[in-house]
Structure 1
Amino acid sequence: MLESLYVKDFAIVGEAEIAFGPGMTVVTGETGAGKSLLVDALLLLSGGRAEATMVRHGCERAELAAAFDLAAHPDLRDWLIAEDLDEDGACQLRRVIRSEGSSRAWINGRPVTLTQLKTLAGGLIEIHGQHEHQALLDRTQQLALLDAFGEHGTEVAEVTRIAKAWRETTARITELSRGTDHAERIEWLNHQVDELDRHALAPDDLLALEEQHRRLANSGQLLQGGAVLAERLDGDSEFALLRLVARAQSEIAHLAVLDERLEPIGELVDAAQIQLAEASDALARYQSALDLDPERLAETESQLGKLHELARKHRVRMPELKAHADSLREELESLRGAGASIATLREEQQRLASTYAAASKKLGKKRGTTAQTLGAAVSALMAELGMHGGRFEVQLEAQSGDEPDPQGTERCEFLVSANPGQPPRALRKVASGGELSRISLAIEVAALGSDTIGTMVFDEVDSGIGGAVAEVVGQKLRALGERCQVLCVTHLPQVAAQGHRHLRVSKSSDGASTETRIESLDGTTRREEVARMLGGIEITRETLAHAKQMLGSAMRSGEE
């Protein structure tokens, strides 16, 4: 529900803040006073197109803001949370239009795009006027309205779910098929996996092979170097290390007799002698195990050469060949099972198609019944609203297609005949502005409670009518106001008298500038405004009495 509207430097409005309440609020004023400026402001706050001419002359920018109560709209609160625009349950729309024509928008103080603004406002407010009926003329919206009127939500959701599942299944089939020859790919993968399984090594095994190759490739140098080292450790030369250490041991033992402090040094030399002896033994064992093996060297070189070849072929490093083989094996298994998977998916596709046919048939049957009910209800209300002999019909057209449609198997077209004897034609082609306003009102009244819009705005829906019909329009708007918030701009006293609240728009000028004033009326001021609408410039006792009677009658009818 709209709680308040603030406008500043907008058109001929200097600054105004208007509070709104539940029920039906009427907006009246003399012609040219700017009654429709409130509607224009709400249109802009709903994401409408902004123009530089909307800024008050001599000002840099126009500012508009509206606050809404979301107590009855948990879905919109969830949307604000999802968009990171929530603010402790508040909902404030704000828009600034600059004199050069640019504009910016905010929701709860955070900058947003016009698309976000339109999305939120679309769930908050619905505007009906002689030039604001695009939603009513759009066939998609007509179908949505029919489903809302008939409370087809469960059936529509089921049809949409099945259609989505069918499309996902079809996409999976296409993905598995890919338009390629699986047999050829499977044969290629088989060959690659077999080859890699024969030759590829795990990283640790590859390191061992490279170490072995390095040893075999240098075995001659290792044998020669080992012999030289053995001679230096324990050879026949007087400079062999073990011989030199033995002499050192003898000399230290002789000197230690003279000075026992040399005994620890002797022990260290003894330990060195032991280490050198162990090293000489280990070297001897190494030499006996080491042997020239040209055939084994050739084998390791061939194996490494094959690994290098595979690495280049598959464009991976040698240590990654084993993992690459596993990856190709997974693809191979997937393709081997693709045929079975596709068959299973095709069965699921057929099952979903059959389920969709049943669900869409059920929805179509309900839509047919609802179309007749809505057509009859709107036709009856059209007669009450001064379109005697007019007829409203909802035409359902079957849709053909190979794929399940999320909207069902039919499309909707609103047809209308405004005059007796004329065949009904598409609403978007034949209705005038005034007729469209009244038809819109008839649809809204017929569909009371079938949508979740909290605020409905009617701009000059009473254009071209008067007398008893005008009173009926007012009564219908008041009845609508019992279910949701209604804001109605009117020039008819019969409609104005039916409002729960009354705003008057007036214009004043000091010769240099013009300004619009918006004030709330009650009691005497409201009676005087209705009298002005009844009698023109001169207000007599009779017109005041008539105005009082109209207001009293509206209040009594509202209490019944």
Structure 2
Amino acid sequence: MLQSLSIRDIVLIEALDLEFGSGLTVLTGETGAGKSILLDSLGLALGNRADSGLVRQGTEKAQVTASFASPAKGSKLAATLAENDIEIEPGEPLIIKRSVKADGGSRAFINDQPCSATLLRMVGGQLIEIHGQHDDRGLINPKGHRALLDAFAGVEGSAVRDAYDAWQSAKTALEQAKQDQDSAEQDREYLEHSVAELSKFAPQPGEEEELALERATMMKGEKLTGDLEAIRAAFDGSNGGLASLRAAARRLDMISEEHPLLAEALEALDRSIIDAGEAEDKLHEAAAALSFDPQRLDDMETRLFDLRGLARKHRVEPGKLSNLLVGLQNKLAAISDGGRSLEELEACLARAKKSYIAAAEALRAQRAKAAKALDKAVAGELAPLKLDAARFETLLEELSEEHWNKGGMDRIEFLISTNPGAPLAPMGKIASGGELSRFILALKVALAEEYGLKTIIFDEVDRGVGGAVASAIGDRLSRLSSGAQLLVVTHSPQVASKGDAHMLINKSLSGTVSRTDVRALDNEGRRQEIARMLSGADVTDEARAQADRLLEGV
């Protein structure tokens, strides 16, 4: 809801601060008083083109500040602000500030955060609808008609959206599988050759490291062979060192009881024999590990060379050749298995499409029922608005398959005919300015409960009518404003009398300078203004009495 509007130096407005409440606010004034300037100022805040012609003569810049109620949590507006990193604390008003310089430059802010004109238009469109003589947005735009009909029907459409997403996912999966299959078929010869080559070689995980280590160990053994043989000779045989130690221990054992030192010497000798035995075992193990076999070394070097050559050929690390083989085997198997996989994916796609069609057809049935109800509701509003000969119809047309989408298989558009026998056509192409505003009002009233109203501005919705028709327009505006905020620019006293609040737009002349001001009217002020609207410049007692009757009828 629009809470306040502050205008500085725009055309004839020097400084203006307005407060707005809920319900119906009417704005009146003589022709040329500046009602369009007020709407242009609000349009500037909502993202309209920043025209330097709006800047009041003699000043450097014009500025408009509009304050709105805090966006509802979870609303589309709150989501839009969050997506653009504009944070608003709960309960904090949304403040839009827009300025334009005399040289044409402009700046825009939302809650003191700079924003683009594109974002400002997006946010503005979610805050206020302006319906005027040249309206090309809101209910005139057929892009929004489907959502309006669905809201009227009370359908949410999630089943269709989910079915559409599943259908598109199945389609994508099938297309990807076909691409993979085509690519695999082109690579079949390469795959068969590579699998045969790698399978024959049979690379093992970690094989390069093992071969390199064994090769290095064997080459060390070649260098140490002489030393190891000499050391082992000192241990081996009947004359070796270990045999001599054992012989000495046997003889010492026979005399060890003759003296304590002999017993201690035997214990030390036994330990030496054990340590020497362990040393001999380690020497044998080392000799085995470092054994040099020229044939084995040649085989290892050949294997290692071939292993690294294959890795270079396939552009992988040697340790990943075994994984590469598995991957290539799987790809080759997929070629043979691809036909069966494609059949399964095609069946899945057919099921997903069938589910989408079923959900979309169910939605269409709900829409068709709602369309008839909406047409009837709008028709009931046309005659009182002096549109007796007009017809309204909701077009529900099946789209071709390439245009099916998350919203279903239907194109929906509101059509009208203003003359008997004339064909139905889009609203914006058939109706005159006054007729169009009244059509919009009739549709708004019909959609009032379901539409989810925001701030709506009607610019001269009563243009070209008076009397009973103007009263009917006033009644419908009053009804529509019961759950929303309406601002109505009007020349009709019947409409003006229905307002919950009344603002008078007045232009004054001071020397050669013209200024536009707006002031809120009290009860007597309203009486006088409605009397002026009834009688013209000279307000008569008769006009005041008629104004009283209009106000009493509210």
Query: How much has 1:459 moved relative to structure 2?
Result: 0.9
Instruction: Answer yes or no: is 1:143 the counterpart of 2:146.
Output: yes
* Counterpart contact for 1:133–1:436, Cα < 8 Å: no
> Following the alignment from structure 2 to structure 1, what is the Cα–Cα distance between the partners of residues 227 and 514?
111
Instruction: Answer yes or no: is 1:124 the counterpart of 2:127.
Output: yes
* Counterpart contact for 1:163–1:356, Cα < 8 Å: yes
Query: How much has 1:374 moved relative to structure 2?
Result: 2.2
The residue aligned with 1:440 is 440
- AA matched with 1:353: K
> Following the alignment from structure 1 to structure 2, what is the Cα–Cα distance between the partners of residues 15 and 403?
51
> What is the SS of the residue equivalent to 2:448?
coil
> Following the alignment from structure 2 to structure 1, what is the Cα–Cα distance between the partners of residues 340 and 89?
54
Query: How much has 1:31 moved relative to structure 2?
Result: 1.5
- What TM-score, normalized to structure 1? 0.82
* Counterpart contact for 2:150–2:367, Cα < 8 Å: yes
* Counterpart contact for 2:403–2:409, Cα < 8 Å: no
Query: 5+ unaligned residues in a row in structure 2: which ranges?
Result: 236-274
> Following the alignment from structure 1 to structure 2, what is the Cα–Cα distance between the partners of residues 415 and 12?
40
> What is the SS of the residue equivalent to 1:50?
coil
The residue aligned with 2:482 is 482
Query: How much has 1:482 moved relative to structure 2?
Result: 0.9
The structure-2 alpha-carbon separation of the partners of 1:181 and 1:58, relative to structure 1 and needing over 3 Å to count, comes to same
> Following the alignment from structure 2 to structure 1, what is the Cα–Cα distance between the partners of residues 285 and 408?
88
Query: How much has 1:443 moved relative to structure 2?
Result: 0.9
1:432-471 matches, within 5 Å, as: 432-471=432-471
> Following the alignment from structure 1 to structure 2, what is the Cα–Cα distance between the partners of residues 84 and 189?
51
- AA matched with 1:41: S
> Following the alignment from structure 2 to structure 1, what is the Cα–Cα distance between the partners of residues 343 and 96?
53
The residue aligned with 1:504 is 504
> What is the SS of the residue equivalent to 1:448?
helix
The residue aligned with 2:114 is 111
Instruction: Answer yes or no: is 1:396 the counterpart of 2:399.
Output: no
* Counterpart contact for 2:395–2:414, Cα < 8 Å: yes
The residue aligned with 2:165 is 164
Query: 5+ unaligned residues in a row in structure 1: which ranges?
Result: 235-274, 555-560
* Counterpart contact for 1:392–1:416, Cα < 8 Å: yes
> Following the alignment from structure 1 to structure 2, what is the Cα–Cα distance between the partners of residues 281 and 501?
111
- AA matched with 2:209: L
> Following the alignment from structure 2 to structure 1, what is the Cα–Cα distance between the partners of residues 69 and 169?
39
> Following the alignment from structure 1 to structure 2, what is the Cα–Cα distance between the partners of residues 333 and 12?
81
Query: How much has 1:364 moved relative to structure 2?
Result: 1.9
Post-superposition CA distance 1:199-231 (Å, at most 9, x none): 43434x42221122234456654546878x979
The residue aligned with 1:214 is 216
Query: How much has 1:502 moved relative to structure 2?
Result: 0.7
The structure-2 alpha-carbon separation of the partners of 1:285 and 1:402, relative to structure 1 and needing over 3 Å to count, comes to closer
> Following the alignment from structure 1 to structure 2, what is the Cα–Cα distance between the partners of residues 56 and 382?
42
Query: How much has 1:468 moved relative to structure 2?
Result: 1.7
The residue aligned with 1:173 is 174
The structure-2 alpha-carbon separation of the partners of 1:345 and 1:66, relative to structure 1 and needing over 3 Å to count, comes to farther
The structure-2 alpha-carbon separation of the partners of 1:280 and 1:514, relative to structure 1 and needing over 3 Å to count, comes to farther
> What is the SS of the residue equivalent to 1:67?
strand
The residue aligned with 1:264 is none
> Following the alignment from structure 1 to structure 2, what is the Cα–Cα distance between the partners of residues 281 and 362?
88
* Counterpart contact for 1:199–1:307, Cα < 8 Å: no
The residue aligned with 1:250 is none
- AA matched with 2:406: P
Query: How much has 1:128 moved relative to structure 2?
Result: 0.6
> Following the alignment from structure 1 to structure 2, what is the Cα–Cα distance between the partners of residues 501 and 548?
16
> What is the SS of the residue equivalent to 1:180?
helix
Query: How much has 1:342 moved relative to structure 2?
Result: 3.4
The residue aligned with 1:257 is none
The residue aligned with 2:253 is none
> Following the alignment from structure 1 to structure 2, what is the Cα–Cα distance between the partners of residues 499 and 38?
18
Query: How much has 1:166 moved relative to structure 2?
Result: 0.7
1:11-26 matches, within 5 Å, as: 11-26=11-26
Query: How much has 1:483 moved relative to structure 2?
Result: 2.3
The residue aligned with 1:67 is 67
1:126-525 matches, within 5 Å, as: 126-151=129-154, 153-154=155-156, 156-178=157-179, 180=182, 182-183=184-185, 185=187, 188-189=190-191, 192=194, 195-196=197-198, 198-203=201-206, 205-216=207-218, 220-223=222-225, 286=286, 290-325=290-325, 327-328=327-328, 339-401=339-401, 404-525=404-525
Query: How much has 1:70 moved relative to structure 2?
Result: 4.2
Q: State the identity %.
A: 37
Query: How much has 1:110 moved relative to structure 2?
Result: 2.0
- AA matched with 2:182: T
> What is the SS of the residue equivalent to 2:88?
coil
* Counterpart contact for 2:217–2:290, Cα < 8 Å: no
Query: How much has 1:449 moved relative to structure 2?
Result: 1.6
Query: How much has 1:287 moved relative to structure 2?
Result: 5.8
* Counterpart contact for 2:456–2:485, Cα < 8 Å: yes
> Following the alignment from structure 1 to structure 2, what is the Cα–Cα distance between the partners of residues 280 and 6?
103
The structure-2 alpha-carbon separation of the partners of 1:209 and 1:493, relative to structure 1 and needing over 3 Å to count, comes to same
Deviating more after overlay: 72-81 vs 538-547? 72-81
Query: How much has 1:325 moved relative to structure 2?
Result: 4.3
Instruction: Answer yes or no: is 1:86 the counterpart of 2:66.
Output: no
> Following the alignment from structure 2 to structure 1, what is the Cα–Cα distance between the partners of residues 153 and 103?
47
Query: How much has 1:168 moved relative to structure 2?
Result: 1.5
Query: How much has 1:421 moved relative to structure 2?
Result: 3.7
Instruction: Answer yes or no: is 1:49 the counterpart of 2:52.
Output: no
- AA matched with 1:425: A
> Following the alignment from structure 2 to structure 1, what is the Cα–Cα distance between the partners of residues 335 and 404?
29
The residue aligned with 1:255 is none
> Following the alignment from structure 1 to structure 2, what is the Cα–Cα distance between the partners of residues 88 and 405?
36
> What is the SS of the residue equivalent to 2:166?
helix
> Following the alignment from structure 1 to structure 2, what is the Cα–Cα distance between the partners of residues 311 and 145?
64
* Counterpart contact for 1:378–1:442, Cα < 8 Å: yes
> Following the alignment from structure 1 to structure 2, what is the Cα–Cα distance between the partners of residues 87 and 423?
49
- AA matched with 2:208: L
- What TM-score, normalized to structure 2? 0.82
> What is the SS of the residue equivalent to 1:449?
helix
* Counterpart contact for 2:222–2:290, Cα < 8 Å: no
The residue aligned with 1:246 is none
Computed over aligned residues only, the root mean square deviation of the Cα atoms, in angstroms, reads 3.3
Query: How much has 1:456 moved relative to structure 2?
Result: 0.9
- AA matched with 1:398: E
> Following the alignment from structure 1 to structure 2, what is the Cα–Cα distance between the partners of residues 194 and 102?
72
* Counterpart contact for 2:390–2:417, Cα < 8 Å: yes
> Following the alignment from structure 1 to structure 2, what is the Cα–Cα distance between the partners of residues 59 and 307?
83
> Following the alignment from structure 1 to structure 2, what is the Cα–Cα distance between the partners of residues 112 and 172?
40
Query: How much has 1:187 moved relative to structure 2?
Result: 6.6
- AA matched with 1:213: R
- AA matched with 1:209: L
Query: How much has 1:473 moved relative to structure 2?
Result: 1.0
Count residues in correspondence: 512
